[in-house]
Chain A
Amino acid sequence: MNNCCTNDESTVACTDTQTNVIFTKPHYRAKQDEAGYSLRVYVPGVGKSGVTLTLAKEVLTITAKRSDATPEGWSSLSRELSTDDYQLRLHLDTKIDSDRITAKLEDGVLDVALPLKEAAQPRVIDVV
């Protein structure tokens, strides 16, 4: 849940109600091609309903909550994996068309497509 201070139509600031929660930044890779950017974020342990993407003032916030908590009755013999939920905040290039951002989650990998605004895409100009 976000507490957002809004000023008319634009969102001025958002604070997360869970300010004490520690997040870990997931590994991610960004690629760029002619149509825009694509992001691959590695979030093992996260199911479909665990991902929220929010965009506020050009900052894309991806929060992914794990659903692989250890059951009661298991005692730990060795722990090397993180148990924290994931959060990634990225400041987006203004040329990205925020209305056309899409995301897909499969097998613990989140693929986000960030297409460029139509006007910003490279155009071929004919010489008359």
Chain B
Amino acid sequence: MGYVPYGTVIAFVEVTMKHIRYNHPLSSSFNELFSEFDPFSRLLGHRFRDLVSGDSRLPADVFEADDHYVARFQLPGVPKSDVSVNLEPNGELVVSYEREQDSEVAKAGRRLSLPEDANAEEVKAKLEDGILTVTVGKAEVAKPRAITID
């Protein structure tokens, strides 16, 4: 097959994953789900990595249910107090943790863009058996109304 430059492989993966997404008519902003930038590795440098995945970017699962979205992360051995879950004003869900263990510092995080109908007022997070589950409710979306012309 020949040598493929690293940059090209990453781009290919990004494109493929975008096509996996569920074609919800209202989730146009979901294309930003896989940001090309990993803000954490730029800020923290490559010295800080998640002890399990070996990367500073936390892998995540994202699901859609009838009335809410769910994002899941793997954080084994990380206590609740070391984890921060934030919803930024621009609608991005930011999850990160910092933990010192066995004289090593592990730091990792992830930034996810939520779809337009995600309701920032209804965010819940649960950490159990090393799995962090963040639930975001869906806002009522204004339905199109037919307007009669006088």
Q: Which A residues fall within an 8 A CB radius of B?
A: 27, 29, 40, 42-47, 67-68, 70-71, 73-81, 106-109
Q: Which B residues fall within an 8 A CB radius of A?
A: 17, 20-22, 30, 33-34, 51-52, 59-66, 69-70, 72-79, 102, 127, 129-131
26 contacts between A and B (CB under 8 A): A27-B51, A27-B52, A29-B102, A42-B77, A42-B130, A44-B74, A44-B75, A45-B130, A46-B129, A67-B129, A68-B131, A75-B22, A76-B20, A76-B22, A76-B62, A77-B20, A77-B22, A78-B20, A78-B33, A79-B20, A80-B61, A81-B59, A81-B74, A107-B129, A108-B74, A109-B76
Contacts of B78 in A (CB 8 A): 107
Would you call A108 and B70 a contact (CB within 8 A)? Answer: no
Q: How distant is A13 from chain B, measured CB to nearest CB, in Å?
A: 32
Would you call B79 and A107 a contact (CB within 8 A)? Answer: yes
Contacts of A44 in B (CB 8 A): 52, 74-76, 129-131
Which of A45, A73, A78 gathers the greatest number of chain B CB atoms within 10 Å?
A78
Would you call A80 and B59 a contact (CB within 8 A)? Answer: yes
Q: How many inter-chain residue pairs (CB < 8 Å) link A and B? A: 93
A109–B127 CA distance with the chains assembled, in angstroms:
13
A75–B59 CA distance with the chains assembled, in angstroms:
18
Contacts of A68 in B (CB 8 A): 72, 129, 131
Contacts of B131 in A (CB 8 A): 44-45, 68, 108
Would you call A79 and B61 a contact (CB within 8 A)? Answer: yes
Would you call B61 and A42 a contact (CB within 8 A)? Answer: no
Would you call B60 and A45 a contact (CB within 8 A)? Answer: no
Would you call A81 and B60 a contact (CB within 8 A)? Answer: yes
Known: A77-B33, A78-B17. A42 touches B63 (CB 8 A): no
A79–B21 CA distance with the chains assembled, in angstroms:
10
A46–B60 CA distance with the chains assembled, in angstroms:
17
Contacts of B59 in A (CB 8 A): 80-81
A-B complex: 10 closest residue pairs judged by Cβ atoms: A108-B130, A44-B130, A108-B76, A80-B59, A109-B77, A44-B76, A44-B74, A74-B63, A77-B62, A78-B62
Contacts of B127 in A (CB 8 A): 107
Would you call A77 and B64 a contact (CB within 8 A)? Answer: yes
Query: Could you list 12 further interchain pairs (A-B, Cβ under 8 angstroms) beyond the known A45-B131, A77-B20, A106-B77?
Result: A42-B52, A43-B130, A44-B52, A44-B74, A45-B129, A73-B65, A73-B66, A74-B64, A77-B22, A78-B61, A107-B77, A108-B76
Closest to A28 in B: B52
Would you call B21 and A78 a contact (CB within 8 A)? Answer: yes
